[in-house]
Amino acid sequence: MGELSHLNPNHVWKHFENICSIPHPSYHEERVAQYVIDEASRLGLDSRRDEVGNVLVTVPASPGRENDPIVVLQGHLDMVPVAAPGIDHDFEKDPIRPYIDGNYVRARGTTLGADNGIGAAIMLGAMEDQSLDHGPLELLFTINEESGMDGAHGLKSDFIKGRLLINLDTEEWGQVYISCAGGGDSIINLPVKRAQSGGSEVALKISVSGLKGGHSGVDINCGRANANKILGRCLASALNAAAFRIVSIQGGSKRNSISEKAEALISVPAGSETDFQRNCYNMAETLVGEFEQTDPGLKMDITRVDSPSGGPDPMTVGSTQAVIDLIIAVPHGVITMSPEVPGLVETSTNLGLIDSSTDRFTASMLSRSAVTSHLPAVKNQIRTIARLTGAEVDEPRGYPGWKPNMSSKMLQIARNVFKMLHGNDPQVKAIHAGLECGLFSEKLPGVDMISIGPEMHNVHSPSEELEIESVPKTYEYLAAILQAVK
């Protein structure tokens, strides 16, 4: 029996625990996709895959409801793989280890993958639940949502028949989402030059850790520290005191996660170590004060290490300055708040990843906006800053936003059902994070959508947690919506 086997509804938690046992980071969803297909086969249901790897399972209507509208339930199969500092976890081979902690399910040392494993589990639970009263269902399991929405991008309009869709990728119980932001990546590539050490230099490693991190859409307005920006500020503070050179630098785990750790290996002239450390620690003390409310675990460590043999030479002073300038200059965080929806982030950007190789420094950023014209404006700002430091920018395909439809049939049903179940109206909201619904609105002409889900916190980070009581509530809500769609 599994750790979660006694939780209700059992058939949902069973599937969630099975999904956790199958490694499924982005680009590696084959085994979990096969699990869905095998479950459909076990139940005698038709399933098929499209050219990009999305899985579709067709569930016949309850007796007497064959002529009701088809409803599509949709979730994605991949997860964001982030391990806590010091945790050795191979996300392509090792299972996620969920456990119960009070009112929540968490994972031991890693992201839980409730985004969107619990959505997929709810769909699988509905697939086998003979007690549900529903019309024809199509269950769409998409691939690689987290790293590019490849499944939604590759979806063809004739793969599914239904045009009423319930997305199960929302992270707040009691909310019905009808809109999301669009997004796009900026990958900055800065050429660097290197030169041999003079023989009288000392190698130091500076690391930033202990941060909460989080989802760059959901948590970007929480004021949390970004380890990449923290490291940049510390290095900039020390540069005037000690003419150090960067050997290597890296930070963050995913471009759509707020960076929770970063480190750099630097080469410092012998005799300048004390000045370097003093300046860095003074800045770190200032930063600890700045982020004491949002990131009380923030810490910075500086250790002397042996100079790496066979590794790259340190960057030149000029390249070191350019790397630090770039980290400092690029924007991160909330850019504008919505003037129409109180509390909604309108436009933001996230410095998710930094990394260095022999000949270049790379920074990966994900920008989001609910305003179509704002997104290219932010990306143009990033391009301009990159150009001033001598860098170039690649911009992979992005994804569109999802415009709200207040006259939506699905929204009206969702409101009525929620009030029937709970005696009050649900909150109807827009989300700053990207949902596949934006692409579905382009791919599926006339589609009518809502997004719901159980309560989750700190997704895309090792602090991710799923509220246990919200899962049966979500399942009950979904079941009642399906019963009401006629």
Residue 5: the pLDDT is 85
Mean pLDDT of 56-62: 98
Residue 308: the pLDDT is 66
User: 474 pLDDT exceeds 80?
Assistant: yes
Residue 1: the pLDDT is 57
Contacts 24+ apart (CB under 8 A), 45-48: 45/127
**How many domains does the chain fold into?**
2
User: Within this chain, do residues 328 and 407 fall inside the same structural domain, yes or no?
Assistant: no
Last residue of a domain, one of 394, 421, 453: 394
Asked if residue 3 is part of any domain, the answer here is no
User: 466 pLDDT exceeds 60?
Assistant: yes
User: Within this chain, do residues 152 and 221 fall inside the same structural domain, yes or no?
Assistant: no
User: 446 pLDDT exceeds 60?
Assistant: yes
User: Within this chain, do residues 417 and 390 fall inside the same structural domain, yes or no?
Assistant: no
Residue 254: the pLDDT is 85
Mean pLDDT of 377-389: 96
Last residue of a domain, one of 361, 394, 427: 394
**Domain span holding position 221:** 184-394
Q: Which residues contact 144 (CB under 8 A, 6 or more apart)?
A: 26, 27, 29, 53, 76, 78, 150, 151
Strand locations in 258-321 (E): 262-269, 299-305
Residue 159: the pLDDT is 97
Q: Which residues contact 420 (CB under 8 A, 6 or more apart)?
A: 480
Q: Which of 79-88, 122-131, 337-346 has the highest mean pLDDT?
A: 122-131
**Confidence band, pLDDT 50/70/90 cuts, at residue 339:** confident
Residue 39: the pLDDT is 98
434 contacts 350 by C-beta, under 8 angstroms: no
User: Within this chain, do residues 368 and 426 fall inside the same structural domain, yes or no?
Assistant: no
User: Within this chain, do residues 98 and 123 fall inside the same structural domain, yes or no?
Assistant: yes
Mean pLDDT of 43-65: 98
392 among known catalytic residues: no
Residue 296: the pLDDT is 97
299 contacts 210 by C-beta, under 8 angstroms: yes
Cα–Cα distance measured from residue 73 to residue 40, given in angstroms and rounded to the nearest whole number: 15
Mean pLDDT of 358-370: 96
User: Within this chain, do residues 332 and 448 fall inside the same structural domain, yes or no?
Assistant: no
Asked if residue 79 is part of any domain, the answer here is yes
User: Within this chain, do residues 193 and 162 fall inside the same structural domain, yes or no?
Assistant: no
Cα–Cα distance measured from residue 437 to residue 448, given in angstroms and rounded to the nearest whole number: 10
Residue 433: the pLDDT is 84
Q: What is the pLDDT of residues 396-431, one digit of tens each?
A: 988 898 988 889 999 999 999 999 999 999 999 988
Among residues 78, 169, 465, 467, which one is catalytic?
78
Residue 317: the pLDDT is 94
* Residue 240 backbone phi and psi in degrees, to 5: -75, -25
User: Within this chain, do residues 194 and 149 fall inside the same structural domain, yes or no?
Assistant: no
Helices (H), ranges, 109-206:
114-128, 150-154
Among residues 17, 145, 448, 465, which one is catalytic?
145
User: Within this chain, do residues 377 and 406 fall inside the same structural domain, yes or no?
Assistant: no
Asked if residue 126 is part of any domain, the answer here is yes
Last residue of a domain, one of 394, 420, 449: 394
Q: What is the pLDDT of residues 164-195, one digit of tens each?
A: 999 999 999 999 999 999 999 999 999 999 99
Asked if residue 1 is part of any domain, the answer here is no
User: Within this chain, do residues 223 and 341 fall inside the same structural domain, yes or no?
Assistant: yes
Residue 341: the pLDDT is 78
User: Within this chain, do residues 326 and 468 fall inside the same structural domain, yes or no?
Assistant: no
CA distances for 138 relative to 59, 333, 356, 482, angstroms = 6, 38, 45, 12
135 contacts 149 by C-beta, under 8 angstroms: no
Residue 71: the pLDDT is 98
* Residue 101 backbone phi and psi in degrees, to 5: -130, 90
Mean pLDDT of 443-463: 94
Mean pLDDT of 365-387: 94
Per the prediction, the chain carries an average pLDDT of: 95
Domain containing 24 — which CATH number?
Answer: 3.40.630.10
Asked if residue 450 is part of any domain, the answer here is yes
Q: What is the pLDDT of residues 201-257, one digit of tens each?
A: 899 999 999 999 998 998 999 999 999 999 999 999 999 888 899 999 999 988 889
User: 136 pLDDT exceeds 80?
Assistant: yes
Q: Which of 194-208, 268-282, 392-406, 472-486 has the highest mean pLDDT?
A: 472-486
145 among known catalytic residues: yes
Count of residues making up the chain: 486
**Confidence band, pLDDT 50/70/90 cuts, at residue 77:** very high
Domain containing 196 — which CATH number?
Answer: 3.30.70.360
User: Within this chain, do residues 174 and 33 fall inside the same structural domain, yes or no?
Assistant: yes
Q: Do you find a cis peptide bond into 9, omega within 30 degrees of 0?
A: yes
Asked if residue 2 is part of any domain, the answer here is no
pLDDT above 70 as % of the chain: 99
Q: What is the pLDDT of residues 89-118, one digit of tens each?
A: 999 999 999 999 999 999 999 999 999 999
**Confidence band, pLDDT 50/70/90 cuts, at residue 464:** very high
Task: Specify the pTM.
Answer: 0.79
